[in-house]
Structure 1
Amino acid sequence: MSAPAAAPSGAAALETAFSKAAFPKAVLFDLDGTLLDSAPDMLAVANAMRADRGLPPMRMEPLRAHVSKGSRAMLGAAFPDLDAAQRDAWVPEFLDRYERELGLHGAPFEGVEAMLAALEGAGTLWGIVTNKPEYLARKLMPLLGWQTRCAVLIGGDTLSARKPDPLPLTVAAERIGIVPSQCIYVGDDERDIIAARAAGMPSVVALWGYRLDHDDPLAWQGDAMIESPAQLIGAGAWPATR
């Protein structure tokens, strides 16, 4: 009787592990700061509003870190002297101007299209769960060529709750017919990871996205931390689903 084959080790073990890796059944993504670099559009909006008020244009960096936090946070960065009530009052103007700038300046992050193509090639469904108003997210889809590729889209006003509540993630999974534990959620903000954990989804922290200086992605305890979309072209980079 021959002896059992020795378990692979070192480089051979790594190669074996990667050969057995599989893409997940479904991946849900945040939009701004994860799939889409929308900061240039947001800067155009902020500077148009500043110009109307006799203020000079602002630079990208003070605004960029706030993009994933929403329109109120961006207004706070563009107009630091505004109180909370004024920020709330200016949100409709910000969104109206953003609708006019939609897709004119921003673009998918480098490597996103190749990552999406790899998922599609493996038969993985992908969709978007964003806190952006749904009507704005839907208007972006044909501009990006994603209108027939994105399997589900949930906006911040689609349901009764938004991230970090898990409801948008669980509803997105239900709509594509995949149980949450078989989906992976990818986002660049702590609330993305909180929502994924509460929904029972493995999560990926998109380190290429927008973060404030004091943000600590390691403390969010996502299942994987990825530096660029290009790393997710290979099946071995995705966390395991259950």
Structure 2
Amino acid sequence: MTSRNFPKAVLFDLDGTLLDSAPDMAAAIDAMRAARGQPPMPLADLRPYVSKGARAMVAAAFPQVDAAERERWIPEFLDHYQRELGRHGAPFDGIEAMLAALEQAGTVWGIVTNKPEYLARQLMPVLGWEQRCAVLIGGDTLSARKPDPLPLLVAAERIGVEQRECIYVGDDERDILAARAAGMPSVVALWGYRLDEDDPIAWQGDVMIDEPAELAFPAAWPGPR
């Protein structure tokens, strides 16, 4: 069932949903590989892991390294990534038009990401979203992160919208699980980052959307629960 109007509020995942940040992540990984005498990692090989987080990307880049040792490398990855932040990536095609359509309709929008909050906040002025994004919650903002529903529930509370009137958009199964647990309708962003074994149909989101430009039209959005 779809709505004839835009949603009252929309919360978005960041990496792989609003932002094609894989090139920034790849630059960070390549800096780590270069420091260890290894060649760059092909972007296409890293891209599917971006929405899985820093640990998944470091594991993909250094599969031969013990997991405990890789864990000690996470701060190094984040340091490199902070230096590359916003230098190579950009919003996916159609994102700006979609956000403009939401804003024109009076829809409030915000971001709930598992990226550390300090990194997500540094991106906002780079993207021109600092004044437009009504709420920003990172993976370390609260005591829990997605797929726990807490970040989505707190985000809805902060913008003053009931969760059933707030839609969550994400490209990873954790996003859809969090939305369902929070009582929010969900949109599966099929343009994002996925592993070959991922099955977005099995996630059972309310709707699946191929391209951001589709969400510039109200009929594409699910209605309230």
Question: Which residue in 2 is equivalent to 1:53?
Answer: 36
Aligned to 1:11: none
TM-score, L = length of structure 1: 0.92
Structure 1 residue 116: Cα displacement: 0.2
Q: Who is 1:122 aligned against?
A: 105
Q: CA deviation at 1:58?
A: 1.2
Q: Where does residue 22 of structure 2 map in the other structure?
A: 39
1:115 aligned partner, one-letter code: M
Task: Describe the SS at the equivalent of 1:66.
Answer: helix
Secondary structure of the residue aligned to 1:27 is strand
- What is the CA–CA distance in structure 1 between the aligned matches of 2:184 and 2:41, rounded to whole Å? 38
Please report how far the alpha carbon of residue 226 of structure 1 lies from its aligned counterpart in structure 2 after TM superposition.
Answer: 0.1
**1:222 corresponds to which letter in structure 2?**
G
Q: Find out whether 1:133 has 2:93 as its counterpart.
A: no
Alignment-derived partner of residue 170 in structure 2: 187
Equivalent residue, structure 2, for 1:162: 145
User: Deviations along 1:33-91, whole A, 9 cap, x unmatched?
Assistant: 00000000011011111001000111011100000000000001111112221121000
- Name the counterpart of 1:21: 4
Q: Show structure 1 runs of 5+ residues with no match.
A: 1-16
Distance 2:52 2:41 in 1: 18
Query: Which residue is 1:237 aligned to?
Result: 220
- % same residue: 75
Task: Tell me which structure has the larger Cα radius of gyration.
Answer: 1
1:222 corresponds to which of 205, 211, 225? 205
Among residues 153, 161, 179, which one is paired with 1:178 in the alignment? 161
For 1:121, the aligned partner's letter is: Q
Per the alignment, residue 6 of structure 1 pairs with: none
Q: Compare relative contact order (CA 8 Å, sep 6+) and give the higher one, 1 or 2.
A: 2
Q: Which amino acid aligns with 2:179?
A: A
Aligned CA-pair RMSD? 1.1
Is the partner of 1:127 in helix, strand or coil? strand
Answer with 27-36 or 82-91: which moved more: 82-91
Partner of 1:199: 182
Tell me the distance in 1 between the aligned counterparts of 2:66 and 2:95: 37
Which residue is 1:109 aligned to?
92
* Per-residue deviation, residues 85-127 of structure 1 (Å, max 9, x unmatched): 1121000000011000000000000000000000000000000
CA distance in 1, matches of 2:166, 2:150: 14
User: What is the count of residue pairs matched by the alignment?
Assistant: 225
Supply the distance in 2 between the matched residues of 1:87 and 1:113 (Cα, whole angstroms).
36
Name the SS for the 1:211 alignment partner: coil
Instruction: Provide Cα deviations, 1:13-40, integer angstroms capped at 9, x if missing partner.
Output: xxxx98x700000000000000000000
Q: TM-score, normalised by structure 2?
A: 0.98
Cα distance in 2 between the residues matched to 1:193 and 1:207: 12
1:64 matched residue in structure 2: 47
C-alpha separation in 2, matches of 1:223 and 1:63: 28
Aligned pairs for 1:72-87 within 5 A: 72-87=55-70
